[in-house]
Amino acid sequence: MSDTYHDRLRSEKSPGERDAPSRRDFLKTGALGALALGTGGVAGTANGQPRTDVSGIEAPGDAKNIIFLVSDGMSAGTLTMADLHLRRHHGRRSNWLRLYEEGRVRHGLMDMASANSIVTGSAAAASSWGSGHRVFNETLNMSQKGEKYRTILEIFRDAGRGTGLVTTTRITHATPSGFGINMPVRWNEDKIAAQHLEREYDVLMGGGARHFDPDQREDGRDLHQEFEEKGYTVARSKQDLRDWGHEGSVLGTFYDTHLPYALDHQNTPAHQEQVPRLPKMADAALQRLSQNNDGFLLQVESGRVDHAGHEDDTGGLVYDQVEFDETIGRALDFAEGRDDTLVIIATDHGCANPGLNAAGDRYSDSPKMFDRVADFQYTNSWILSELDADSTYRQIQDRVAEAWQFPIRRDEAELIQDALRGEYQAAYREKSDPDLLLGAIQANYTSVNWVGGDHTADYVELAAMGPGSEAIGDFTRNTDLFDLMVESAGVRDYAQG
């Protein structure tokens, strides 16, 4: 492929009580249109919450393929800063915002609330798309009473479509699992790995080798071998991925835990040799899945954007978001000239709400301060990985200077010393941790600051193009994307289980 272009919030009952009969009735009748109360792609529900009007799809079943792209934890400031970085240092707009400029997508905001909170975790967020139900945070496609909701990948698999998950996190992590796994607690990743084996999806790529390794699993099972016995190619390196040949099913576990941040990867020869990056994995998945004449569903996640948000790490955030934007380009290359592919671009929640702040007289210092990010060599995570309570202020200064390419002051290094020793407390206590303190100190030099270090309740960006995208309105409820995918792909009969 070329590189040229690149719920309806019901009353907050438990998920087990959440309108299960009406959803079954709906799936039997396909009568989402009967709920429509408005025009312009937005309709209402019984309690007045907006929803996407899937009855407005022009030709149900025309989406042979669906590519669902997720930048996990992407706040609006993240999208903005990646675009600014690309414009200032690569001479182009981001693919995401170019789609807006060119009017090539339907887009709006999306309400990502979970069943028990207005602030959403990744498992509940992905489950809202993956099963059409709002579930409690930390839960994957299950009610609190133990009811398992049929997942979107099971539906597409049983309809004869190709199925794939690609991520920079562990393949057993929340967002990929939200499309194909039922689990009461998202952290049961050994069990999630075993469930992936049972469900037999075609393409699984990311990190998380430790959950397939007999020496690291509590039950001692060798899941890599068990996948091979089922006919999968098991790829453990970039070379293995190249050698695969895009034939048959594949399990790619390219790192023990999450894949390295893009910024650390590009400056670490061992990572460059061993670990494939998201655009290449997405390319490989598309080449394999497009061989299915009946079509496919592929979810692609840039999961470490969220992790950089949790760590208030500007370098980690911007470079992984830029890599995600390149991956958008690969999906657009695939969809170019086709009328059978629905591309959805979304995030599941905000995280830490970073933003480029005003600095200097008439804010004239903001551009040059932000431009320092272009010189970064390593992430804040890399800095802290070699520091501890015994580190001297000089060692801290040297480590930071190697990563950021400029020095910090002694008093700032001493604050980090205090935080590493557990002796520092910020006014907002969450920001007392060494990583968030390091992010605050970094803001003195980049003018990028953060509200905290965790998820936010923001309404998030949603964009879509291709068959079915015409149903996207200005404001969408997260669960409606499940209905949109099922309807646009014409697989509603398989959604009943």
Confidence of residue 11 (pLDDT cuts 50, 70, 90): very low
Tens-place pLDDT, residues 267-282: 999 999 999 999 999 9
Phi and psi torsions of 287, nearest 5°: -65, -40
Least confident of 30-44, 151-165, 166-180, 344-358: 30-44
- Please choose, from the candidates 222, 215, 416, the residue with its C-alpha nearest in 3D space to the C-alpha of residue 312: 416
Tens-place pLDDT, residues 364-412: 999 999 999 999 999 999 999 999 999 999 999 999 999 999 999 999 9
Confidence of residue 26 (pLDDT cuts 50, 70, 90): very low
Which is more confidently placed, 1 or 245?
245
In whole numbers, what is the pLDDT of the chain averaged over residues?
A: 90
DSSP assignments along 424-484, one per residue: ---SSGGGGSHHHHHHHHHHHHH-EE-S-SSEE---EEEEEESTTGGG--SEEETTHHHHH
Positive or negative, the Cα torsion across 134, 135, 137, 141? negative
Confidence of residue 54 (pLDDT cuts 50, 70, 90): confident
Q: What span, in angstroms and rounded, lies between the C-alpha atoms of 104 and 430?
A: 41
Q: How many CB atoms lie within 10 A of CB 339?
A: 11
- For the record, the structure tokens of 395 come out as 């060692």
Positive or negative, the Cα torsion across 210, 215, 219, 221? positive
Tens-place pLDDT, residues 123-180: 999 999 999 999 999 999 999 999 999 999 999 999 999 999 999 999 999 999 999 9
Taking 80 as the threshold, does the pLDDT of residue 47 lie above it?
A: no
Q: What span, in angstroms and rounded, lies between the C-alpha atoms of 252 and 195?
A: 16
Q: How many CB atoms lie within 10 A of CB 120?
A: 27
* Fold of domain 15-352+455-496: Alkaline Phosphatase, subunit A (3.40.720)
Confidence of residue 57 (pLDDT cuts 50, 70, 90): confident
| Cβ contact 197:232 at 8 Å | no
Q: What is the CA radius of gyration of the chain?
A: 22
Taking 60 as the threshold, does the pLDDT of residue 19 lie above it?
A: no
Tens-place pLDDT, residues 405-414: 999 999 999 9
Q: pLDDT > 70: what percent of the chain?
A: 90
Taking 70 as the threshold, does the pLDDT of residue 9 lie above it?
A: no
Q: What is the pTM of this model?
A: 0.90
Share in percent of the chain as helix, strand, coil (round to 5): 45, 15, 40
How confident is the model over 92-109, as a mean pLDDT?
96
Confidence of residue 497 (pLDDT cuts 50, 70, 90): low
Confidence of residue 17 (pLDDT cuts 50, 70, 90): very low
pLDDT at 46: 30
Taking 80 as the threshold, does the pLDDT of residue 356 lie above it?
A: yes
pLDDT at 53: 76
